[in-house]
Structure 1
Amino acid sequence: MPAVGASTATASSAAGSGAPELLLVVAGAHLRGQPLHHQLAERSARFVQATSTAPEYRMFALDTVPAKPGVLRVPEGGAALAVEVWALDAAAFGTFVAGLPAPMAIGRVRLAGGRELPGFLVEPFALEGAQDITAHGGWAAYREATA
């Protein structure tokens, strides 16, 4: 995972402490205003930017509680999805990732412009029978359309 200052990260040090931050791309239930965002807030995560993925991903509505999406990189037929980038210190990043339940996973997510950062993906087995919601362009838009 790139620390700040590495070629793929652009955040600053944590609260001026000089401690490196790790960047994390979130696409669903951890977005601002979503039900699991508190897990980032409890770790003093810092919002870096709202952006989108490269047009290489599909998004699926998973049958989970709370509701969350699964993001999968695909060789063709993908689209750009709305995401957020957050910065966490290394310890917070570690506890966050250690607590992720299956089928969620952290992998490399390519953003618009080509930069790759650690971010949320889903294990493909979880997509059997899941609704493809890619056309909404992101989780918040899907939730708004189905509210």
Structure 2
Amino acid sequence: MTNNVKFIQVAVCGAHMTGLPLNGQLTSLGGTFLEETTTAPAYKLYQLNGFTPARPGLIRVVDGGAAIALEVWQLPIENYGTFVSGVPAPLGFGTLTLADGRTVNGFMCEHYATLNAVDISHLGGWRHYLKEVA
């Protein structure tokens, strides 16, 4: 019998990363880690208000963007809808451009949620932010 499971790549840049509080949501759905990389330098990362556990919001910008560290995971396609449907607003999914030019589905944030949030783009990623506030 052949394995016909199809996969989709998913980029995560916050609480779903390896060892962080929401990573189990990926692994429980059959997600497997592929790589650490960064976005193209066209994004901003914000520490969002009102989330437990704490989460960042990633938005694409025209000017003043940075490369943001993230992880790429592989998720069975039949579990993708379950994963995405559990993501609360203002977070959602969109197409991210990685540093090497590839595109992948990943977490994005609605712009309005960043208006009262702290811009942490200069730190280069969520793990760096967590080290700063620890």
Q: TM above 0.5, one fold?
A: yes
Matched position secondary structure for 1:50: strand
Task: Give the drift of 1:18.
Answer: 2.5
Q: Which runs of 5+ in 1 are unaligned?
A: 1-15
CA distance in 2, matches of 1:43, 1:78: 32
1:48-91 alpha-carbon deviations (Å, 9 max, x no partner):
11000000000000011110000000001000010000001112
1:69 aligns with 56
1:89-108 alpha-carbon deviations (Å, 9 max, x no partner):
11211100011110111000
Alignment of 1:20 onto 2:3: no
Give 1:40-79 correspondences, 5 Å limit: 40-63=26-49, 64-79=51-66
Larger relative contact order, structure 1 or 2 (CA cutoff 8 Å, min sep 6): 2
1:115 aligns with 102
**TM-score normalised by the chain length of structure 1:** 0.87
Q: In the comparison of the two structures, how many residue pairs are matched?
A: 132
Q: Which runs of 5+ in 2 are unaligned?
A: none
Alignment of 1:136 onto 2:123: yes
Percent identity over the alignment is 42
CA distance in 2, matches of 1:47, 1:65: 24
Q: After TM superposition, which residue ranges in structure 1, 4 or more long, deviate above 4 angstroms?
A: none
1:15-56 alpha-carbon deviations (Å, 9 max, x no partner):
x72211000000001000111111001111011110000000
Amino acid at match of 1:127: T
Amino acid at match of 2:14: G
Q: Could you say what the CA RMSD is over the residues aligned between the two structures, in angstroms?
A: 0.9
1:124-146 alpha-carbon deviations (Å, 9 max, x no partner):
11112100000110001100111
CA distance in 2, matches of 1:117, 1:107: 8
**TM-score normalised by the chain length of structure 2:** 0.95
CA distance in 2, matches of 1:30, 1:89: 16
CA distance in 1, matches of 2:3, 2:25: 22
